[in-house]
Amino acid sequence: MQALATADLQEATHEELILGLLVEGGSDFVSGEALSGKLGLSRTAVWKVVNALRRKGYRIEAVPSRGYRLLESPDRLTSLELLPLLETHDLGRTVHSFDEVDSTNAVAFRLALEGAEHGELVVAERQTGGRGRRGRSWSSPGGLNLYASFILRPDLLPQRAPELTLVAAVAVAESVRAAGAPADIKWPNDLVVGGRKICGILTELSADPDRVQFVVLGIGVNLNARREDFPPDVAEVATSLLELTGRPVPRAPFTAGLCRRLEEWLDVHGAEGFRPVRERWRALAITLGQEVLVKAERREIRGVAVDVDEDGALRVRTEDGTEERILAGDVEQVRSRVAPPMPPRAW
């Protein structure tokens, strides 16, 4: 596991602050005087921080007597890029970013055991052992997609933890749709476009009998990978936002938007319970009303998906007219609705 090379803490903080002010300034210049005044630094020190940012790939214009203006940010995913864009109170406020890890979920789980707080986020450029649901792997080519794991500490009974999986599916579906791809949710939390998978969510839990200790919410979204970036078997069934829209997705704004939506839905869930989440999930889901084959732990159930219950379980009406409740499994043979292309919107 190799952490991204960072400057010393003090310097990183100055970089974050100056970058935040330049992002806030948008297309306007921010004067050197304003920057040095706000940070309590000399003009020369500000210049040095600006140059350090340039070495990291930021294009910053400097014009005498006008100041500095941010022209372009590199497509990196560290706190430096994320913090100025965040609109959350907790999620993503602390970012642990890595070049390479086995699995961001594994790292987040270890950090949570060591006491990491609600909302801390682990991201990596690449995963060597990305984990999928039901013991599968998650293909994680480097520098292209989002591999993120949030540590959550909800005040929740353990039996209600699966609801968070559907909360996450709603937030990611909205983020992917806002980026221009007509994604639908396939029960419980796969995101698909035209039958191809664009996102997977893996929730891992640590709980006492009567209380959730923490949840690690792992989210993988295929943003900028092309088919050839995946191994052949994955390329058959996967897609990405780039493939679907033809436009590269800057990862920090996408992630900041996801943090905002996820936090909003977690807040709704905390304040009003599962009902509003369930309503939104139903509106975004492709599974209901479809003929499905559900592969559960030890059995397969064929029938029509009727609804999701109050606890997130899928109800399937089988051929003999009985209804089965399924708490965990994979849905197959879902016929895709043909969704109209959606216009791109801001994140």
Q: Which of the ranges 30-38, 131-139, 159-167, 338-346 carries the binding residues for ligand BTN, by CB under 6 A?
A: 131-139
Report if residue 168 touches ligand BTN, rule: CB under 6 A: no
Tell the smallest beta-carbon distance from residue 105 to ligand BTN (Å).
4
Q: Which of 78, 79, 97, 104 binds ligand BTN (CB under 6 A)?
A: 104
Q: Which residues of 27-43 are buried (b: 16+ CB within 10 A; e: fewer)?
A: eebbebeebbeebebee
For residue 117, what are its two tokens?
A: 């707080």
The total number of residues shown for the chain amounts to 347
Does 200 participate in binding ligand BTN (rule CB under 6 A)? Answer: yes
Look up residue 114 and give its two tokens.
């060591």
| 138 interacts with ligand BTN by CB under 6 A | yes
Phi-psi region of 180 (alpha: psi -120 to 50; beta: other; left: phi over 0): left
**Hey, what are 143's tokens?**
């520098």
User: Do residues 50 and 61 make contact, with C-beta atoms less than 8 angstroms apart?
Assistant: no
| 150, 108 Cβ separation under 8 angstroms | yes
Work out which of 14, 96, 133, 186 binds ligand BTN, going by CB under 6 A: 133
Complex with ligand BTN: residue 148 or 316, whichever CB lies closer: 148
| Strand partners of residue 101 | 127
Minimum CB separation of residue 229 from ligand BTN in Å reads 15
Residue ranges of E strands in 49-157: 59-63, 67-72, 95-101, 121-127, 146-152
Taking the least distance from each CB to ligand BTN, the nearer of 49 and 152 is 152
Q: Which tokens belong to 201?
A: 């969510």
Report if residue 132 touches ligand BTN, rule: CB under 6 A.
Answer: yes
Stretch that binds ligand BTN, among 75-83, 133-141, 170-178, 321-329 (CB under 6 A): 133-141
Interface with ligand BTN includes 127 (CB under 6 A)?
Answer: yes
Q: How far is the CB of 321 from ligand BTN (least distance, A)?
A: 32
Select the residue interacting with ligand BTN from 32, 130, 162, 312 (CB under 6 A).
130
Q: Does 96 bind ligand BTN (CB under 6 A)?
A: no
Among 58, 109, 147, 187, binds ligand BTN (CB under 6 A): 147
The region of 83-91, 194-202, 304-312, 338-346 touching ligand BTN under the rule CB under 6 A is 194-202
Of 80, 89, 76, whose CA–CA distance to 119 is shortest?
89
Determine, following the binding rule CB under 6 A, whether residue 287 of this chain makes contact with ligand BTN.
no
DSSP 147-183: EEEEEE-----GGGTHHHHHHHHHHHHHHHHHTT---
Kindly list the residues in this chain that would bind ligand BTN in the complex (CB under 6 A).
103-105, 127, 130-133, 136, 138, 147-149, 190, 200-202, 218-220
